[in-house]
């Protein structure tokens, strides 16, 4: 048995495992959505984003350019899904989770929390769905004024 044949039995399964890992990483950063409806009123001081869908599967990170530079926002996140699972994570600059909201099928779930914008005034959040049907989320935000701004 030559050297190439001796090692090929080991590399073939490793190659398939690597392809599987890369495919799952790629798939986890993509959300397939049907019946998507988006409405947004985005301003530097306050605003909201509403998205409804018939079906969704996967995950996606969103960047919402609000403007006005770095700041802290007071946010209200409302989720609703009739079937499956949905999780919405509000992200601080650098990608750390400021807070998260997890759906309960058939119920509306909400949470209030603070999240920071990056230096360009961009709000970031991630939506993760598994078999989600007839769902929606809403993000309402208001810039927190510091003592110097008043």
Beta bridge partners of 42: none
pLDDT > 90? residue 14: no
Span 110-135, average pLDDT: 96
pLDDT per position as a tens digit, 102-114: 999 999 999 999 9
- Phi–psi pair at 24, nearest 5 degrees: -70, -35
pLDDT of the residue at 150: 42
Residues 58 and 32 sit within 8 Å (Cβ to Cβ): yes
Structural domains of the chain, ranges and CATH numbers in brackets: 32-143 (2.60.120.380)
Separation of alpha carbons 104 and 115, rounded Å: 23
pTM for this predicted structure: 0.77
User: In this predicted model, what pLDDT tens digit does every residue of 18-68 receive, in sequence order?
Assistant: 444 434 334 445 889 999 999 999 999 999 999 999 999 999 999 999 999
SS3 content of the chain, % helix, strand, coil (to 5): 15, 60, 25
- What's the angle, vertex CA 127, arms to CA 40 and CA 101, rounded to 5? 95
Of 31 and 16, the structure prediction assigns the larger pLDDT to 31
Q: Give the tokens for residue 150.
A: 């008043």
For residue 143, pLDDT over 60 is answered with yes
């Amino acid at each position: 048995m030559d050297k190439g044949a001796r090692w090929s039995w080991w590399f073939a399964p490793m190659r398939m495992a690597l392809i599987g890992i890369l495919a799952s990483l790629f798939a986890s950063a993509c959300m397939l959505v049907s019946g998507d409806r988006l409405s947004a009123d985005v301003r530097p001081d306050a605003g909201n984003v509403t998205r409804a869908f018939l079906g969704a599967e996967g995950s996606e990170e969103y960047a919402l350019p609000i403007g006005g530079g770095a700041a802290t926002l007071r946010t209200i996140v409302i989720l609703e899904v009739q079937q499956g699972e949905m999780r919405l994570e509000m992200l601080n600059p650098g990608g750390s989770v400021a807070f998260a909201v997890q759906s309960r099928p058939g119920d509306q779930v909400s949470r209030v929390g603070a999240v920071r914008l990056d230096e360009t005034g961009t709000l970031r959040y991630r939506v993760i769905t598994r078999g989600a049907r007839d769902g929606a989320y809403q993000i309402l935000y208001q810039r927190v004024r510091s003592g110097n701004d008043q």
